[in-house]
Amino acid sequence: MTFFETLVALLAVAILLLQVTRRMQLPYPGILAAAGVAVGMFPGAPDIPIDPPTALALFIAPVLVDAAYDFPLGTARRLWMPLFVYAVVAVLVTTGVVVAISALTVGLPIAVAITLGAIVAPPDAAAATAVLSRLPVDRRVDALLKGESLFNDATALLLFSAALTIHARGGFDLDTIARITFAAPGGILLGIAIGFLVSRLRPVTDNSVGGTLLQFVYAFATWLIAEHLHLSAVLATVASAMTIATLSTVGDSPRMRVHSFAVWTTVVFLLNVVAFLLMGLQARRILGEMSSNELQRALAFASLIIIGVIASRLLIAAFFHAVIGYRHRRGSVLVPFERNETLLVGWAGMRGLVTLATAFALPANFPERDLVVLTAFFVVLATLVIQGVTLAPMIRLLGLGREEKVRQEIHWARKSMAKAALLRLEGEVAGEAEAVRAVYRDICESDHDSPSALRREWSLNAIMAQRQRLDELREADLIGPTQYLELQEDLDWKQLSIVSENEKRIDES
């Protein structure tokens, strides 16, 4: 099988398995991991070489842009302390644990052990988000998990780059220290500058395919420019996306937002599929070249690393909870999470795409590369299966689900928005304005989140009649194909405005 044939096979399997995950409420990255291994081990699957510098830009840049654009700057300011602990301190502590295990067991060189620690330290929010989208928890917990996955990548990749540089140069020198010191602030400044530039270009490309392509071009370009300047590519990419989001206005094109959301959701999912396939292929090659003794050594070492990374996060979560609780009792304004929420945050430490991509990025001649790559893959598999599959039952068992509260928040927000609309229309005397006011009054006075069932049924029947007539006009050749698509899209928007929330949403898994 060629790589393309293997990829098509995995996509077909992934689509089938995703229907299972939707019904069983399992996080899809864990299923992808299993599918990637299975397809990668299939006889005849190709051996695909991976260009290390390309791996990070290809797999991480779009994911960071997608997540950073939706993460409010105000939330980052409000949660700066827990974000710092989980995105910086936790990564450093986990790396230290991995270094200690490596030194006490297989005797990896210090630079190699730090590299492995940087690879496996940052959790990926994809698996947690797949569960939390169906079982929403408290807003602070949700924001912390998503924000952590943004900023811990920067810490881990700075460590990763530093360890590779130190290994290549045989130790520290002034140039290496200067690069590491300037990488973070320089990356942030570069990202802000690119964000300002792209914000000026966006209006020119709105409502066009070029506008969507610009989003991908700037994501990859930001990463590559930062890499060439020896700056933090992660922080540059995150800063650029958050700058663009901050500079967006209420007048931005809604059509562009809808289109971009659909495209980015699909692309991020496809990158996950390809990454797990490539890692499965690498694992097959590595396992095939290992003797039984080497395999036993690798499995024993990987098991210790898995225990180390899971235990260290749980301990960090418990320690931080104790510290914040103590400070709160002494007058600090920062309210600690509940004990059950702390346990959830500690357990939601699944590794994923970032760990895979950094493992890909190791040079071919890196010492103990096969052991490091295999260990990283086992950490991803184990955390996705053990923690990912148990996350939803844990939320139910601990009583952390907030489905009803989320529905109430959405209903309250709709009413607040409708009141703002009525205030804007106040004083308008035209009959058309009164018709619009009637719609918003209905929202303010309703106890439901959407139009009444009877009104929705009438509206849907009317739209279906229009669709039937539109198809008849096309079949009779009374309208052209372009006009047909335009009118069909108008009906789509009308239908989406009255259907239930579940029917509007594109499920990310």
Q: Give every CB contact of residue 64 below 8 A, 6+ residues apart in sequence.
A: 150, 153, 219, 234, 237, 238, 241
Q: What angle do CA 360, 19, 407 make, to 5 degrees?
A: 100
How far is 273 from 270, CA to CA, in rounded Å? 5
Residue 509 in this model has a pLDDT that exceeds 60? no
**Which tops the pLDDT comparison, 505 or 279?**
279
> Alpha-carbon Rg of the chain, whole angstroms?
25
Q: Domains of the chain (ranges plus CATH)?
A: 3-401 (1.20.1530.20), 403-449 (no CATH), 457-509 (no CATH)
How far is 304 from 308, CA to CA, in rounded Å? 6
In this prediction, residue 504 carries a pLDDT of 57
pTM of the predicted structure, to 2 decimals: 0.81
In this prediction, residue 173 carries a pLDDT of 66
In this prediction, residue 207 carries a pLDDT of 78
Q: Tokens standing for 379?
A: 């950490």
Predicted confidence (pLDDT) per residue in 337-384, tens digit? 888 889 988 998 888 888 888 888 888 788 888 899 889 989 988 888
Helix, strand, coil abundance in the chain, percent, nearest 5: 80, 0, 20
Overall size of the chain counted in residues: 509
Place of tokens 């049924």: 457
Predicted confidence (pLDDT) per residue in 196-245, tens digit? 999 988 888 887 888 888 899 999 999 999 988 988 888 899 999 999 98
How far is 28 from 128, CA to CA, in rounded Å? 10
Predicted confidence (pLDDT) per residue in 22-69, tens digit? 777 666 776 776 777 777 667 766 666 667 677 788 888 888 888 888
Point out the least confidently predicted range of 47-56, 98-107, 109-118, 385-394: 47-56
How far is 259 from 506, CA to CA, in rounded Å? 12
